[in-house]
Amino acid sequence: MKIGIIGCGQVGASSAYACVLKGVGTELVLVDRNAALAQAQAEDILHATPFSSPIPVRAGQIEDLHGAGIVVIAAGAAQKNGETRLDLLKRNADIFSDIIPKIFTVAPDAVLLIASNPVDVMTQMVASIARQTHGIDASRIIGSGTILDTARFRALLAGHLGISSHSVHAYVLGEHGDSEVLHWSGALVGTIPLTNFAAQVDAPITQQIKDQIDEGVRRAAYRIIEGKGATWFGIGAGIARMAKAIVHDENALMTCSTPTRGLLGTEQAICLSYPRVINRQGVVRTLVPEMNDTELTLLQKSAEILARAASDIGVLDV
């Protein structure tokens, strides 16, 4: 399956590089308004293929995405130090309005993976544009959402417990951003509830530990941006994992963002992260985990924030 990546900054390049390392796709086409950057990134990533997977990697234009099964959108203005993701809204809205119709003109069957921030509202806007211009179902527009936040949650829990992060099953729900909700009440290690497992390995989950992990997850982007200007490795790996689920028609379960109606008692379509089943058709099912009252209240607040943000740029529904 051909994969196109639009936006060849650090996130787009890291997504392409992760696809090469994981052997995802049959061809990668990198597109950027800075053609020299796209060419340089493609050439550099191509030179890694003898050490990983021999996937052709080349630079091109949107027209070269003809027949692509996946298009990753990593274009847009970068988040500045101290700036929230929602502050990026108006700076990125015009970029998407221009490129989305062009993508579906050349790749009408593609699933779009959105990595640009603020990803939830950007995903809702892309879904709205795609429906209006080409009649594309919202299930084929998938934001990376909290896939990275969930990975951070699992990694920090694993470090505390002294266990592989692959054995930790815990989700971050809602916004990819300040209002996200760590789903503590549903966390498992293997099939064992988190608190039970933690007691058995003498690593109890105290309120102090919860606060530390919550801070570690929720403020991760801000710390990384302060240290090196942006985040890219984690989200690049997350995008490659989502692409793999599509390419191999996996029916894989992961937290990501796509417009969904009927969540949290509202009929308005809201983009926020829940556990979703992903295959070659895009998102085919949304799962609603059991939550305690506190988590549910926080998730409702997160949805309200995202609904207001979408309204600010005129995206009221999909």
CATH code, domain carrying 164: 3.90.110.10
Q: Is residue 317 part of a domain?
A: no
Is residue 7 very low, low, confident or very high in pLDDT (cuts 50, 70, 90)? very high
Mean pLDDT of 31-51: 98
Read off the pLDDT of residues 177-209 as tens digits, 9 standing for 90 and up: 999 999 999 999 999 999 999 999 999 999 999
Same domain assignment for residues 100 and 215: no
Looking at residue 282, what is its pLDDT? 98
Look at the chain and count its residues: 318
Same domain assignment for residues 186 and 74: no
Q: Is residue 186 part of a domain?
A: yes
Nearest CA to 239 out of 119, 59, 130 is that of 119
Same domain assignment for residues 83 and 213: no
Q: Is residue 282 part of a domain?
A: yes
CATH number, position 7: 3.40.50.720
Q: Is residue 318 part of a domain?
A: no
Of the three residues 114, 143, 172, the one that is the final residue of a domain is: 143
Of the three residues 143, 169, 192, the one that is the final residue of a domain is: 143
**Choosing from 47, 66, 176, 248, which is the catalytic residue?**
176
Same domain assignment for residues 287 and 164: yes
Hey, what amino acid is at 232? W
Domain carrying residue 41: 2-143
Looking at residue 312, what is its pLDDT? 77
**pTM across the whole model:** 0.94
Looking at residue 253, what is its pLDDT? 98
Beta strands 70-73 and 2-6 are parallel
Same domain assignment for residues 121 and 183: no
Q: Is residue 169 part of a domain?
A: yes
Secondary structure of residue 49 in the 3-state scheme: helix
Please tell me whether the peptide bond between 204 and the residue prior to it is cis, using omega within 30 degrees of 0.
no
Q: Is residue 277 part of a domain?
A: yes
Tell me, yes or no, if 248 is annotated catalytic: no
CB atoms near residue 284 (< 10 Å): 12
Same domain assignment for residues 158 and 301: yes
CB atoms near residue 39 (< 10 Å): 16
Read off the pLDDT of residues 51-106 as tens digits, 9 standing for 90 and up: 999 999 999 999 999 999 999 999 976 667 777 656 767 777 778 888 999 999 99
Looking at residue 248, what is its pLDDT? 98
Same domain assignment for residues 152 and 273: yes
Q: Is residue 289 part of a domain?
A: yes
Q: What are phi and psi of 55, to 5 degrees?
A: -90, 130
Looking at residue 223, what is its pLDDT? 94
Same domain assignment for residues 243 and 170: yes
Same domain assignment for residues 115 and 22: yes
Of the three residues 102, 117, 143, the one that is the final residue of a domain is: 143
Residue found under tokens 């999909």: 318
Q: How many domains does the chain have?
A: 2
Same domain assignment for residues 32 and 59: yes
CB atoms near residue 78 (< 10 Å): 16
Residue 112 has pLDDT above 90, yes or no: yes
CB-based burial, 188-217: b 16+ in 10 Å, e otherwise: ebeeeebeebbeeeebebeeeeeeebbebb
Q: Is residue 56 part of a domain?
A: yes
Same domain assignment for residues 183 and 218: yes
Give the dihedral sign, CA 302/308/311/312. negative
Same domain assignment for residues 124 and 235: no
Residue 135 burial (10 A CB sphere; 0-12, 13-18, 19+): exposed
